[in-house]
């Protein structure tokens, strides 16, 4: 019983230390190497390879309600906007709404990865589609607005 109590105290201490450390994590990340992705679109919904090579994503966590996402190709910004943001045990999550797309971004700070998904609600011009990719991230506080 004494060992169980000691183990429980250690576990609670580790959990609390993790929560405090998570608050001090960098809140701006630059993600790249998004070379392994897939695309599936109507009408056949067959997964095909899709890369976002040469592109970078700047992910800024502003708090438990909002963030900002910026996309760069060859160092030129070509897409940006506000996002709904939420902290997670593993890092932070973002949802960005556009005219045709809903994009989700998850930054896992322990693996330093970005998990990206984009869902397009199709139209008469473009079909319904789902795109996903994974990238690697580094802290980028100096780039924060």
DSSP one-letter code for 14: H
Is 138 a domain residue? yes
At 144 the pLDDT is: 60
Measure the CA–CA gap between 106 and 90, rounded to whole angstroms: 9
Averaged confidence pLDDT in the chain? 83
**Positive/negative CA dihedral, 89, 53, 141, 93:** negative
50-101 tens-digit pLDDT: 878 889 999 999 877 899 999 999 889 999 999 999 988 889 999 999 888 8
Residue 18 scores a pLDDT above 70: no
The most distant pair of C-alpha atoms in the chain lies apart, rounded to whole Å, by: 68
Q: Given this model, what pLDDT does residue 48 score? A: 92
Residue 121: give the domain boundaries: 26-143
CA dihedral 26, 56, 136, 90 (to 10 degrees): 40
| 18 inside domain | no
Residue 15 in any domain: the answer is: no
Query: 6 lies in a domain?
Result: no
The total number of structural domains in the chain stands at: 1
CATH of the domain at 70: 2.40.128
Residue 16 lies in a domain: no
Residue 13 lies inside a defined structural domain of this protein:
no
52 half-sphere exposure, CB direction, 13 A CA radius = 24
What percent of the chain is helix, strand and coil (3-state, nearest 5)?
A: 15, 50, 30
- Tell me whether residue 43 is in a domain: yes
CB 64 within 8 A of CB 85: yes
Structure tokens at 52: 């976002």
Q: Which residue has the higher pLDDT, 17 or 87?
A: 87
Residue 128 resides in a domain: yes
């Amino acid at each position: 019983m004494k060992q169980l109590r000691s183990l429980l105290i250690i576990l609670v201490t580790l959990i609390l230390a993790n929560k405090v450390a998570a608050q001090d994590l960098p809140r701006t990340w630059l993600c790249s190497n998004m070379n392994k992705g897939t695309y599936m679109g109507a009408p056949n919904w067959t997964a095909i390879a899709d890369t976002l090579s040469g592109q970078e994503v700047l992910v800024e966590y502003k708090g438990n309600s909002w963030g900002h996402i910026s996309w760069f190709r060859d160092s030129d910004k070509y897409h940006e906007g506000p996002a709904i943001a939420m902290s997670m045990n593993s890092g932070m999550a973002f949802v960005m709404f556009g005219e045709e797309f809903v994009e989700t971004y998850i930054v896992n700070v322990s693996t330093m990865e970005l998990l990206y998904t984009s869902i397009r609600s199709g139209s008469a011009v473009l079909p319904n589609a789902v795109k996903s990719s994974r990238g690697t991230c580094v802290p980028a506080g100096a780039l924060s607005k």
